[in-house]
Structures are given as C-alpha cells and as structure tokens.
C-alpha cells in the first residue's frame, strides 16, 4: 500500500527504541532498485563460484558487530511478487 507510512513507522519505532537506550542498527534499501541476482546472490556458471548478494553481505556485516543490540534489514519499497517469493 503506497503512501501508508510504512517507512515512517519503522523509523519512528527505531527512534523510540533509541530514546529508551536500546540502540538499533538499521540497513535499509529498496529491493526494486536492484536485480534479483544483486539482491540474493548467484552462482557464476563459468566458474561455479558463489557471488554474494546484498542481503548476504549485509547479514554477514551485521553478524560481525560485537554487541547484542537488535539489527534490522529493511527491504523498504513496494511489495513485488517477483522478489517476495524468491
């Protein structure tokens, strides 16, 4: 539902948690701005090597942060059957 303030709501929630002393790390991007291979990753058929997508890279980077605070990956954009079902 475009224009239903979904992006504003998660930002308000993050700010509220921060004010309560609960630091939250957020990485957000629009999944429709990139290809499916860029989002999820893919196997290079010539070399049989895996190439990480943005989600893989971000999850790995967030996992290396040495704290126990929440870490959110926000796919901030209109819902699209092509990427949501992948």
**pLDDT of res. 16:** 95
Strands 25-29 and 49-52, bridge-based pairing: unpaired
In order of 9, 23, 36, 64, 73, the CA distances from 55 in angstroms are: 22, 21, 11, 14, 8
Whole-prediction pTM = 0.74
For the stretch 58-82, pLDDT in tens is 999 999 999 989 999 998 877 666 6
Say if residue 33's pLDDT is above 80. Answer: yes
């Amino acid at each position: 539902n475009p224009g239903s303030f979904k992006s504003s709501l998660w930002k308000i929630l993050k700010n509220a948690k921060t004010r309560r002393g609960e630091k939250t790390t957020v990485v957000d991007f629009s999944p429709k701005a990139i290809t499916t291979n860029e989002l999820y990753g893919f196997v290079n058929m010539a070399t049989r090597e895996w190439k990480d997508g943005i989600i893989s890279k971000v999850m790995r980077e967030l996992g290396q942060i040495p704290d126990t605070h929440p870490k959110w990956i926000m796919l901030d954009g209109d819902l699209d059957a092509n990427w949501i079902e992948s």
